[in-house]
Structures are given as structure tokens and as C-alpha cells.
Structure 1
């Protein structure tokens, strides 16, 4: 049985292919169109999935879309009615699009599918599982767990903003839901917007900024009190109530009324290019603290309801690695599995899996070993001839090395302080680079954080980078008690690796804090001694593991800086040509694609407008 899953028309559109319940391929549309967070119909991702399995659309039994458009329309209409007359302008702007396209989504999907095969598009079955079911399915079914509590937390699906469910065998039972407009995801998004970061893209920036907040400062404590007393009321079961006087997402396109928030917190909304100050860090810490408290309450409640010893996390809030780390440290659950594309993109995989097990009633067989996502390496791979073709096109210069020489030489270049683009095998599915479309560096180099942030990523200098570490060595460096293959857990470094904070650290200016080095691995260490960790396993990425082993043999440390291989405001590179172009446009020193090693100094000049 072949099933296609699709998520689209909000952000991070994606397609996935299931064969007999096995995930064969999955990719985001942005990687093909080069439009970051592309929300359009994922025609390119869909074509890739079919090609990967050597299938045609006529071979597909069903296409599963990740949400129910009629229920979402019901929510919009009831919301506009409830808040009337406020929001009527937004209603007039939004309804024509809904009536023309999303309301008749099945017709639209068949129209888009007909661009691939008109006859197959007319006949294929189209299914619409609910969004939170799709997200829950995308976490539970691949987890390898026979039974688990499932916690789905995001901005909003059709109605649900938080779902507590129980997965057992092939069944998923939703036990409780919290409905719009009360949403942990929208609360965090509002603070993200107020702090000058882009919603649906900048939440990680707020999480990182929180590390520079002062937990002992009266300012931070006051922000926490204001959030809890004025913006959100949280019950012991994790359910919340948001004071809609301070939010405008229900009635308009803006997420918050600036004037009320300025009166509440005592400073105006930060503009994206404005300088960051300590008050911004303290507010980021406040919302991070409140979010972690709510997530812990939800975790306790879903454990009480299900009695399960394991937990699956899904939804956009599950991408908050710091909150995930707190959940892990709570010891509420024996094992926590987090979908690597936990938000809308992962809904494509989940929709297909929900169709397979719940609609077509297929048997679920759990195989021993790691989860069924194959390390999230589900995207396109490129044979050596495509690299050779790219070399001819650009007149590039490269050395061809065998595997041992490649990893040994790359490790030596990293240890010498170089930044290396690393392009191997199948592309990752999800937002995280996991060692196949990565930029790598030595985490010990104190200059590397600014060099990467300011000269390559063109983003705020306060952001530390994730670390890839040999799975068997992780506990030597971090307080990590379980694997973290998808870079979705943040934990603290061992005390022996830390550097003492300066005296009166919290009285330092933010600029002084940003220049601090908080461990022997300054590039990956936050000011609170934490790091976002990816454990590298032989089952999923033996070549990346071999590189880490070569670096350890040379330096004594089996870990590297690992950040996504992309330019500023671009998606992760998808092809060898895109990798080479990014390499040439940025101050990267070396590039590895397959067996080819490119040295920047040996390359011909890069044209301003390449073909």
C-alpha cells in the first residue's frame, strides 16, 4: 500500500511517502523552490517522493492532507462572530481566499495533483485527518514505542491548541484538548513578536536569548508575575486561559496590540534591527520559564491520564529544546521521543501514518532498534556524476579522496580553525542539520561563534550553535541521560568543562556577556552552561560518526559544532550546485561533497550573477 502525506498552505509545506507502513521519503517544498518556509502546494517535494520509490501517482492508494479545512473554517467563523464587530476588516480580507481555495480544498488538491497525472488525480482517494492527530501520529508511530502518552502543543490546528492522547499499538485515543484562542504556542509567539523576532521562525532566538536573562533579578521575577497575572492563567492540569484583551490574533493579522504590551512591560516593542538590551533577555527568560512550567504540568497530566511510562512530543512547541530538556530532567517518563519535524512539515508524515493505521486499519509491527525515521535522512541524495557535472559547470577545483583520507583530512582542517561545509547522502527532513547538510567547526575555537553568526549566518551574535557528539561519549560532556539523535534536547555541561562566571556576572552589560566564554567549548555553550545536543549513532550516519572519531583521535574530543548549511534567509542547501554556491558566497574555508574536497583558495572567482 502506497500513501502520500501532504502538509501545505500555512508554512513549511512538505510531502511524504509511505510504502507498506515504511517511511520511504519526505521533504519540505522550500528545499526545491528556495523560498524559506514555502507554504505552497509541495509539487516538487511530491515528485521527489514518487521518484525516490520509482512510483507514479497512479500507484498511490490515498493522499492524506494533514488537517480538516471545514473544521478550521468553523473555528474562523465562530471566532469572528464571538469577537464581532472587532475583526470585520480581517474577515473581509480573509474570507474570499477561504471560499475560493481552502473551503474547496479537495478540488484544489486534485487540481494540483493533475499537474502530475490528470487521470490519477481524479481517481485517488483523498483523506483529511485532524491536524493534531496528524502530528501525534507523526510522533507515536515512528517512535518504536508500543505504548506512550502523546502531548501535542502548537499555536492552533483546527480548534485544538493542545492535545493529550494515548497511543497503544496502532490506536491513538485523544483524551483531552485545549481549544483556540487559548494557546501556549500563541503566547510564546506573541513574546517572540514583541521582542522583535519573526513569528514561526524566531522562537529559537527567544529561547537562546533566555540564557542571558538574570533569574535572580527583580526585573525577571516581575515579568514572570506580569505574564502569569495578566496574560495567562495556568491550571495544575496544564490548561491555560489567555486574556484576549492583550492579544489581537483572533480578530486581525497582528498578534498583539503594541500599546497595551508597552504599558504592561514598560518598554516598547523592539524593532528587528534594534539593539538587544538586558530587559529583552529577562523577558525572554520569563516566557521560557512560564512555558517550561506549563509543559511540565501538561506532562504530569497526560501521565496521570494514561499511566504510560514513555512520552511522545509533537507540535511546534516540541521544537523548544530547552523545555524538552526540563521534561527529561523531571524523570516523569522513562523515554521521550520527539518528532524531528514536529510542527506543520511533520504533519505530512503523520497524515500518511494516520491513514495507514487508522483509516486502512493496517497492522502495526514494531521492529527493535532505533526509531523508524532513519535519522531523519529522508530527502534526496545525489550521485557522484552530479557533483562532477557541477565541477565542470563552474570550473571548480577539487580533490577526490577515499573515505578514510576524507574524514582524516577534514578533521585536521577543522582542528586548524576552518569552517567546512559538509554535504553527504540524503538530505535531512525537518529544520535541523544532522550531519548531511551541515556547516562544521571546532567547538573549542573562541572566535568561531562570531565568525559563523556575523559573517555566514548574518544573525545575532548571542546565538550559540548546536553540538554533534559521538553517542557513546555524550555523557562525558553533558548531563544527558538518553539519546538525542534529532538535536531537540538541551542539557548542561559537566562542571569540570565549565569556566567560572565573572564576578557580578549579572551586572555586566549584555555586550560583555556576549563576549564571555563559558566552557572549554565556547561556541556551543550558553551563558547558563547549557548546549543543544545531537547524538550521532552508527545505525543512522556512519560517515559523520567516522569524522567525529577522526576529530577525537586528533584532539581528544569527539564533538563538533553542527549548524545548518545555508546562507542568510535561505533554506538549507538541497543540491551540490547550491552547496557550492553557498560555499563561494560566504567565508567558508572548505567544502566536502561526497568524496570531493574543495579548497576556497583554489576556486575560480565567483561571478556576482552566476547562471
Structure 2
């Protein structure tokens, strides 16, 4: 049975194809349209999924959408009635869109599907899954666990903002929920807005900013904004928020509580924003810990699966793992709305069609998240030639050796290999790589390559067999979703003057043997690299280790700020020519910046809308 899963119309639209419960492929629409977090119908992603699998539209048995529009409309109406007349502005803004489009989303979906091919637009094939069930299915079914507790947390689906459940074999049940407007995701997004970042894309910036501050406002948050119970259940004090009745996240009462209006975007960050980030991060970690502890105590499960946007908070995930309440944790790499396409398709297979769950061949059912488009060598060469690129062709061994030597010499490398990743993280297929031992590399990559805020940390990609020697972690972390401290033997002692530094002044102080991937609190967002799922990337790091003694590379996504991760060789070449990258490896093609036609260099700094 072939099931096409779709997420669309809110943010991070995506499509995924599942055959008899096995994930075949998946891709986000933004990688094709080049519009970051593209919410539109994923027509290009769907076409690619079918073509990649060699299927015709008539071969699709079911099409599963990741939420239920009528339930969302019900929430909109009930929220307006509960807060009337205060919510009229928000209601007036949303209602025309709902009445013209979203209320008739089934018809709109069928129309969009028919535009791809009439065979896709047969109404009897279309199924709808609840939003949080899609998240839960995306977390449990691809996991390596036969049974597990399942926790999903985000802003809001239809009504649910947090759900807890139990997976066993092909069965999955949601046992309890927290409903809108009480939402951990929206609480975090309120502080994202208040500290001057963009909601639904800037939350990870708040997480990265937090270690520069002190959680001075955590008590204020607990005393005024959230009533948190021992089992992790909570309620928000809606007097301080405006997302129910207005068009912003917070209101003047929130401003008065924290002593100032929201920071304007792109204005210089102060210690206050850093302390606010540290505070909401500390609160979030405590809520997630209590939710996990409560769920494990209730179910007796020793394995935990996570999904939903809050599950991308890798610091909180690391705290759960180190707490010892579970033996292991598995997080859906596309934990946000994009992953709902996979979850909806898997829910259709196992819940609607009652197909048995298929045991995973490998560490899990996501195949390393390498589920997107790939390009044959001949096609890479043709595309690069048409783009005006100058390149040499290397054997596999020569490519690995040349790239590893360039990295050891301090060069920044664009790395475009194999299938594209599904989800927000580059995992060694569409990556920018560098030497983690270089003290200035974090700042250099942020300002000269990524064109983004200098405070943002980079992740270490480390050979799985070496992770415990370098970090306080001896578990798989293939999706860059666990944070752990750098191991003590690799830390550098701080002088009294360095210890006394505050905020962004901490940035340029090397704190370990791998300063480019060591955050100011000695933490690192770890990706373990496995030979079974990405042999070429594993071989590159292994060669770098042979040259330097270090089994780690800086790994960040191949893009600039505001740009989706590169999807094609042409995207990669444009980004290469618009940044200070030194070397580009695409398939077996090697491109050196010094060899390129200077006329093709682009001003890439302002090419994309800032996220």
C-alpha cells in the first residue's frame, strides 16, 4: 500500500511517501521554492516524491493530511466567543481567510491534487489525522522501540498543545492532552517575540542565546505566567498574552512585568535579552522534565519518543536523558510541522488500514533522515557546467583526502553529497564544514559565511565510536537533537578575569580543545555520525581524525541566514559564490574558490528575507 502524507498551509509544508509502513522518501516544499518555511501546498515536493519512487498518481492508495481543519475552525470560533468582544480584531483578520479557504480545505486539497494529476483528486482516498496524532505517529512508528511513552509538544494543533500517549507494536493511543490557549510552545514563542526574534523561526535563536545570560526572570515567570504542577500539567495566566485576542504575542501588562517593551528586530542585543532567554529556557526545561517524569511514572515505560516543535529544543532533550528517568529517548528529526506529513502517512497505514508495523532495518525507520533528492554524478557535472562553474573530478578516496586536508588547513567547505536531509538540520548531506579546533571559526562562519548573528553556536559532527571520549554522552544522537557537555579532559580552565565576563563578551574565550563547537556553558549540540547511514561523511571525519587526531567537524546547514538549505547543485554553487566558502564538494566534483570566474561572485548578504 502506497500512502502519500501531506502537511501544508501553516508553515514548513512537506510531502512524504510511505509504502506498507516503510518510509520511502520525504521533502519540504521550501527546498524547491526557495522560500524558507514555505506554507504553501507542497506540489513540487509531491511531484518529486512520486518521481523518485517511480510511481504514477494512480499508484497512490491513500492520501493523508496532517490535521483536521474543521476542528481548528471550531477553536477559532470558541476562542472568539470566550474572549468577546476583546478578540474581534483577531477574529476579523482570520475569518475571511477561513470562510474563503480553510473551512473548505478538503475541497482546496482535492483541487490542488487534481492540478498535479486528476487521479490524485479522488475524494475517497483522502484521510485526515489530528495534528498531535500525526506528531505522535511520526515519533513512535519510526522509532527503534517496540513500546514507548510518547510526548508531543508544540504551539497548537486543532485544540491540543501537549499530548501524552502510549505506543505498542502497531498500536498508538493518546491518553491525555493540554488544550489551547495553555501552550508551552506559545509561551516560548511569546519570549521569542518579546526578545525581538521572529515567531516560528527564531525560537532556536532564543535557545542559543540562553547560555549567555542568567535565569533572573525564571521566578517571575513561575509566579505570574505559568501554574506548573508536579506531573508537568500547567495553565498559563492569559492576562499577560495577546495571542487569543490580538495580533501580537504579548501585551502591555507583559511589558510592565519585565520592565520594557519588546526589543525591536535587529536592534543590538543587551544582557537583558540574554537573561530573558536564559529564564524562559530554564522554565521550559523544568516543564518538559516534569511532563516526561509524570508520563514515565504513569506508564512504566523506560523508552520515550518526542515530537512537536518543542521537541527541537535539544537542551531540554539532553536534560531529560541525563535525568535518568528513561533508558533511551528517540526524537523525530523533523519534529515540527514538516514531520506531520510522515506521521499522517504512518497513521493511515497503522490506524486506518491496520497494517502491521515493520521492524526497522538499522537504528530507526528514518534512514538517517536522508530522505530527499539526490543527483547522479553526470547530472551534477552538467548542472555545474551550465552554471559556469570550474571544477575537477576526483575519485572517492581523493575527494575525501582533499577535503579533509582543506579542513585541517582552516578552510570552510561546502559539502553536498547523496540524499538531502528531511527536517531543519543539515546532517552531512547539505552541510558547511570546518575545523572545530580553530578558536575564531565560530565567529568567522557566523559573520562571513552564514551572515547571521555572531552569538549562535555550531554543532559538532563526531564519529559515533568516539563520542564518549569527547562529550558526556554515550548514546546515539544522529539528528543533532541532544545537547551534552564537552568532556572534562578536553575543557580549558578559565582565568578569574574570563570567568567574570558577562553576556556576549564570553564569545571569544576558547573553553576547550574544540572551541568552535563549545558553547559558553561548555555544552554542545551533538550529531553522532554513523558509517551505516552516511558512509561518505563518516569517511571524511575519519580521514580528518587521521590528519589531526580530532574525530569531529563543525557542521552547519548549507545556506545563509533566511535561505532554505540548498537543494540543487545550482543552489550550492550560488551560495558558494556568494559567501567566503573556500572549497565546494558536490558528488565527486571539487570546486576551489580561487579557480572560479570572479564575474559570477554574488552579493549574497541581502539575497533573502531575514528569519
Aligned partner of 2:152 in structure 1 is 152
Q: Is the CA contact (8 Å cut-off) linking 1:155 and 1:183 kept in structure 2? A: yes
Q: Distance in 1 between matches of 2:599 and 2:86?
A: 53
Q: Could you tell me which residue of structure 2 aligns to residue 53 of structure 1?
A: 53
User: Does 2:364 correspond to 1:371?
Assistant: yes
Q: State whether structure 2 residue 401 is matched by structure 1 residue 387.
A: no
**Which SS does the other structure have where 2:567 is aligned?**
coil
Cα distance, 1:505 vs structure 2: 4.6
TM-score (norm 1): 0.97
Counterpart of 1:255 in structure 2 is 249
1:568 aligned residue: 561
Partner of 2:455: 462
Q: 1:232 to 1:506 in 2, by over 3 A?
A: farther
Correspondence 1:501 to 2:494:
yes
Of residues 577, 585, 588, the one that matches 2:578 is: 585
1:229 to 210, 220, 223: 223
> Which of 284, 293, 298 is the matching residue for 2:286?
293
Task: Return the offset for 1:329.
Answer: 0.2
Q: Give the conservation status (yes or no) of the 8 Å contact 1:72–1:158.
A: yes
Measured after TM superposition, the shift of residue 122 of structure 1 is 2.8
Q: Distance in 2 between matches of 1:600 and 1:609?
A: 13
3-state SS of 1:81 partner? helix
Q: Give 1:89 deviation, angstroms.
A: 1.9
SS in 1 for 2:517: coil
State the aligned residue count.
Answer: 603
The CA RMSD over aligned residues, in Å, is: 1.3
- 408, 412, 424: which one aligns with 1:431: 424
Question: Which 4+ residue blocks in structure 1 deviate beyond 3 angstroms?
Answer: 504-507, 606-610
SS where residue 92 of structure 2 aligns? helix
Asked whether the equivalents of residues 408 and 548 of structure 2 are also in contact (C-alpha less than 8 Å), the reply is: yes
Deviation of the 1:506 alpha carbon: 5.9
Report the counterpart of residue 217 of structure 1 in structure 2: none
Contact 1:590–1:600 under 8 Å retained in 2: yes
> What is the DSSP-based 3-state SS (H/G/I as helix, E as strand, rest coil) of the residue aligned with 2:467?
helix
Query: What residue number does 2:25 align with?
Result: 25
Deviation at 1:202, TM superposition (A): 0.9
- Alpha-carbon distance in structure 1 between the residues aligned to 2:264 and 2:495: 30
Give the 3-state SS of the residue equivalent to 1:106 in structure 2.
helix
Matched, 1:246 2:207: no
Give the deviation of 1:249 after TM superposition: 0.5
Aligned residue in 1 for 2:11: 11
1:451 aligns with 2:447: no
Would you say 1:172 and 2:148 are equivalent positions?
A: no
**Do the aligned partners of residues 99 and 424 (structure 1) sit closer, same or farther apart at CA in structure 2, a change above 3 Å counting?**
same
| Conserved 8 A contact 1:456-1:568 | no
Do the aligned partners of 1:424 and 1:594 also contact (CA within 8 Å) in 2?
yes
Q: Does 1:196 align with 2:189?
A: no
Query: Deviation at 1:392?
Result: 2.1
CA apart distance, 1:197 = 1.1
Q: Would you say the 8 A contact 1:11–1:344 is kept in 2? A: yes
5+ residue gaps, structure 1, are 215-219
Between the aligned partners of 2:131 and 2:483, the Cα distance in structure 1 is 27
Residues of 1 paired with 2:130 and 2:559: CA distance? 33
Q: Secondary structure at the match of 2:122?
A: helix
Quick one: distance in 2 between partners of 1:504 and 1:183? 41
Match for residue 535 of structure 2 among 517, 530, 542:
542
Change (3 A) 1:606 1:331: farther
Which digits, 9 at most, give the CA deviation of each residue in 1:101-157, with x for residues without a partner?
Answer: 111111101100011112441355111110000000001000021100000010101
CA separation of 1:64/1:497 partners in 2, compared to 1, >3 Å: closer, same or farther? same
CA distance in 1, matches of 2:424, 2:160: 23
CA distance in 2 between partners of 1:458 and 1:368 (Å): 40
Q: Offset at 1:500? A: 2.0
**Which sits farther off after the overlay, 185-194 or 93-102?**
93-102
Match of 1:343 among 327, 336, 349: 336
Q: Secondary structure at the match of 2:526?
A: strand
How far the C-alpha of 1:458 sits from its partner, in A, is 1.6
Is residue 145–residue 366 contact of structure 1 (8 Å, CA) maintained in 2? Answer: no
> Deviation of residue 609 (structure 1)?
7.6
Q: Give per-residue Cα distances to partners, 1:24-81, cap 9 Å, x unaligned.
A: 1100000000000000000000000000111121111111000011111111110010
Provide closer, same or farther for how the CA distance between residues 605 and 505 of structure 1 changes in structure 2, counting only shifts above 3 A: closer
Matched, 1:39 2:39: yes
Output the CA distance in 2 between the equivalents of 1:416 and 1:168.
Answer: 50
- Residues 67 and 131, structure 2, Cα contact 8 Å, conserved in 1: yes
Match of 2:128 in 1: 128
Give the deviation of 1:487 after TM superposition: 0.4
* Contact 2:13/2:41 (8 A) holds in 1: yes
SS, match of residue 475 in structure 2: coil
- Tell me by how many angstroms 1:567 deviates: 2.0
Cα deviation, residue 416, structure 1:
0.3
Q: Distance in 1 between matches of 2:599 and 2:108?
A: 42
Q: Residues 186-227 of structure 1, C-alpha deviation per residue, up to 9 Å, x if partnerless? A: 00000111111111111111111111113xxxxx34x11110
Deviations 1:487-544 (A, max 9, x none): 0000000111112233155642434212211111111111110000000011100000
Q: Distance in 1 between matches of 2:145 and 2:115?
A: 39
Contact 2:577 2:601 in 1 (8 A): no
The Cα offsets for residues 316-359 of structure 1, whole Å up to 9 and x where unpaired, read as: 00000000000010111111000000010000000000000000
CA offset at residue 455 of structure 1? 1.4
In 1, Cα distance between equivalents of 2:360 and 2:486: 33
Residue 7 of structure 1 deviates from its aligned partner by: 0.3
Alpha-carbon distance in 1 for matches of 2:417, 2:7: 26
- The two structures have a TM-score, normalised by structure 2, of 0.97
- Is the 2:452–2:560 Cα contact (8 Å) retained in structure 1? no
- SS of residue matched to 1:16: strand
Report the CA distance shift for 1:460/1:167 in structure 2 as closer, same or farther (over 3 A): same
